[in-house]
Structure 1
């Protein structure tokens, strides 16, 4: 639980839960003895991953900047959850862990093709957020591993409010991939931090 209840009391329940989560993550980062920690942030669509990731960046407790990569920029289309996670592992997490520059390509959803390349600096902290990112293969490559849990009705409402008609036809298709990820990878078991978001 956060030690700042008075600051969160004026927020709506979702914003308050995300703030408490980001405070807890900042505390966990401070307890690490590394200047370039890696954070993995997983949860189903609409759970609040992107919002939490932005809040963590905003209150980053170490000096210097932190790199944030969202898997929405890497998944190769609506059937690409597992492929996007594997690309992030091979192109971002493994090189970062070896002290090498990682290079990943953005997926252009409109063109259905890969676009420009981006570099990840191994000397800087790194947050990778997205559905599916926390697996037995990625867990050992991260210092802080987060799983967000949220009710299906809340998640769906938030996701469709955010992405509207673009996402609506693909909701079930994406949810099936998330189901397979949870059954296969048990992400909550690999998490060092678990947060419930209303």
Structure 2
């Protein structure tokens, strides 16, 4: 079996000269961990950029932020140009647009987070990975451990949202590869 890292390096770029990989799935499933491991492994061979939906999404705007990502990253990369975006920061407990982050087209872009593999991006994706993780209750506890007890109610609401989102977008069914930490090479 070819390691995922090696498989990605053989894929045809579909975002200009960039091979784009989306790592999608529900909150607390392990997407960020898997994406970081994969980015580190790929980064040993080629220039790799890891971006997260966390840089864009808020509790009140879980997916409608997409035009900022498309205009700042997807369109410039598809044209071989540098891009950029303003990262969402939570410095006062409420989301606000923070610093401008400049990004140059990498060889591989890993975009991770809830809705990273949405249907509207399919034409740019070289690979869509689905991380289902454990059951919803365990995912909630993992997310609370990560984000703090004060986020529990927001995370419950988020789980309700993402259940509906994934049912409509059919992300898991469109995925090229379901993955977990055990699937990544050492």
Find 1:147's aligned residue among 115, 130, 133: 130
The answer for the alignment partner of 1:80 in structure 2 is 61
Query: 2-side partners of 1:62 and 1:29: how far apart?
Result: 13
Alpha-carbon shift at residue 196 of structure 1 (Å): 5.5
**Structure 1 pair 90–166 and aligned structure 2 pair: CA distance change class (3 A):** farther
Alpha-carbon shift at residue 24 of structure 1 (Å): 3.9
The answer for the alignment partner of 1:127 in structure 2 is 110
Answer yes or no: is the 8 Å Cα contact 1:102–1:120 preserved in 2. yes
SS in 2 for 1:168: helix
| CA RMSD, 1 decimal | 2.3
Query: 2-side partners of 1:85 and 1:46: how far apart?
Result: 21
Answer yes or no: is the 8 Å Cα contact 1:149–1:197 preserved in 2. no
Task: After TM superposition, list the pairs within 5 Å mapping 1:44-63 onto structure 2.
Answer: 44-60=26-42, 63=45
Give unpaired runs (5+ residues) of structure 2.
none
- Aligned residue pairs: how many? 176
What TM-score do you get using the length of structure 2 for normalisation? 0.83
Relative to total residues, which structure has the larger helix share, 1 or 2? 1
Deviations 1:80-111 (A, max 9, x none): 11123443233222322222222111112234
2:173 equivalent to 1:189? yes
Alpha-carbon shift at residue 138 of structure 1 (Å): 0.8
Which portions of structure 1, spanning 4 or more consecutive aligned residues, are displaced by more than 4 angstroms?
Answer: none
Find 1:96's aligned residue among 66, 74, 77: 77
SS in 1 for 2:76: helix
2:148 equivalent to 1:169? no
